[in-house]
Amino acid sequence: MSKVSSWFGRRDPDARGYYGAFGGRFVPETLVAPIEALETAYLEARGDPAFAAELQRLLQHYVGRETPLWDARRLSAACGGGRILLKREDLTHTGAHKINNALGQALLAKRMGKARIVAETGAGQHGVASATACALLGLECVVYMGTEDMRRQALNVFRMRLLGATVCGVDSGSCTLKDAINEAMRDWVARPGDTHYLLGSALGPHPYPLMVREFQSVIGKEARAQCLAQAGRLPDAVIACVGGGSNAIGIFDAFIDDPGVKLIGVEAGGEAIRSGRHAARFAGGAAGVLQGTRTFVLQDAHGNIEATHSVSAGLDYAAVGPEHAFLQETGRAEYHHASDTEALQAFQDLARLEGIIPALESAHAIAYVQRAARAFGPDAVLVVNLSGRGDKDVQSVEQLLQESNRVSP
């Protein structure tokens, strides 16, 4: 791969798309040519100042960047130590970091002359971001979504339809994100000529993990500069939830070369670390190949992908982005998990302490910091990526709390 110096980050994988032993391009033959064309187009685009300028214009005036780094003093006090800074991706247009990547890829698709976008979505945030980018740029948009997720995230289904997208329910397998990705890939295999697959996380075959990370790297760039300005130094740790891992890799990216900054990913611990009841790939997974990439995957003894569970649809996925597998193996990042119960508690705590209702996905990162802040010491600076807002989750949380009688008057 050519090393193109540009506005974007420059830590490229090797020529075959590998981060150490992870990554690569495990796709059916029909997709090889479209993926090679995508790689070429992407490498050209990221070296083109006009492309960067157009994306920058959209990020600033349409998305509303830069997003604030909020000094969460009441949360910090309640955690009993350290200074917690929240990177407010929840304040972006459409309410989650997903829009950064959706706009980048939609611009690229347009540059490639594609008229049609397919996307998958779990929590619905990437589907909404894709539908939004397509409405703005005049592209047709088809979103695949598991029927179980459509039930959990009904509000986002309506938002996508309102934005002009076609939402196709997927009722194979576990009816969640993994199955939606299978279906989006099947669509792309059938129409590679006029269609771009707008993958929403740092997953899939090369160049997706690289491209998605670079479109999300704006989060870390801003957070690093903001932290230096507000705290006068780099943070002790950067913490983010990890489903596929796009918000995490996006904020980690700027700190990779700062050895003093711990990078901490928080996976979905679900009900328990027991087959089928969680989505913590580093706690229960093994290396394998799923959906185009070699990475850590929750699988059974015969290589079939295991069912996953999380209270948050966006973390409910059996594989993790290959660069996270690499960061974990090399020890540059560490991965922990937070349970459904902890995330639900963090969801309520952040609302009451800071007046911010986080997405259930992001609530996992909050839950971890609540648990771990004290151990970092009273002078620690902790940056937490608040990847999305919780409007989409309010209804299902209300139901869950009523069921378990945890709702306080």
- Binding positions for other proteins, rule: CB under 8 A: 16, 24-34, 172-173, 178-179, 181-182, 185-186, 189-192, 286-292, 297, 299, 301-305
The residues that bridge with 381 in the sheet, in sequence order, are: 83
DSSP state of 65: P
Identified catalytic residue from 339, 387, 392, 396: 387
Which entry of 39, 89, 120, 148 is annotated as an active-site residue?
Answer: 120
Task: Please return the burial class of 113, using the count of CB atoms within 10 Å of its CB with bins 0-12, 13-18 and 19+.
Answer: exposed
**Chain centroid to CA 346:** 19
CA 206-318-269 angle, 5° bins: 130
Encoding tokens for residue 5? 């110096």
Q: Cis peptide leading into 66, omega within 30 of 0?
A: yes
Q: Is 222 in the active site?
A: no
Tell me the closest approach of the beta carbon of residue 34 to other proteins, in angstroms.
Answer: 7
Smaller CB distance to other proteins: residue 172 or 399? 172
Catalytic residue among 87, 98, 110, 392: 98
Place of tokens 């290589």: 303
Cβ at position 269, least distance to other proteins in Å: 22
Contact between 179 and 172 under an 8 Å Cβ cutoff? The reply is: yes
If the CB atoms of residues 190 and 225 are measured against other proteins, the closer one turns out to be 190
Surface-to-core class of residue 221, CB atoms within 10 Å of its CB (0-12 exposed, 13-18 middle, 19+ buried): middle
- For the CB of residue 318, give the shortest distance to other proteins in the complex, in Å: 9
Report how far residue 236's alpha carbon sits from residue 245's, in angstroms, rounded to the nearest whole number. Answer: 21
Q: Which is nearer to other proteins, 61 or 186 (CB)?
A: 186
Q: Which is nearer to other proteins, 215 or 282 (CB)?
A: 282
Active site residue 387: yes
Smaller CB distance to other proteins: residue 69 or 203? 203
Q: Rounded to the nearest whole angstrom, what is the least distance from the CB of residue 278 to other proteins in the complex?
A: 17
Is 98 part of the annotated catalytic residue set?
yes
Please state at what angle helix 154-162 crosses helix 125-137, rounded to 10 degrees. 10
CB of 19 to other proteins, least distance (A): 15
- Nearest-angstrom CA–CA distance, 405 and 394: 16
Sequence-ordered alpha helix ranges (H) in 336-393? 340-354, 360-376
- Pick between residue 21 and residue 407 the one whose CB is nearest to other proteins: 21
Distance CA 271, CA 113 (A): 45
Min separation Cβ 303 and other proteins, Å: 3
Phi, psi at residue 211, to the nearest 5°? -65, -45
Catalytic residues: 98, 120, 387
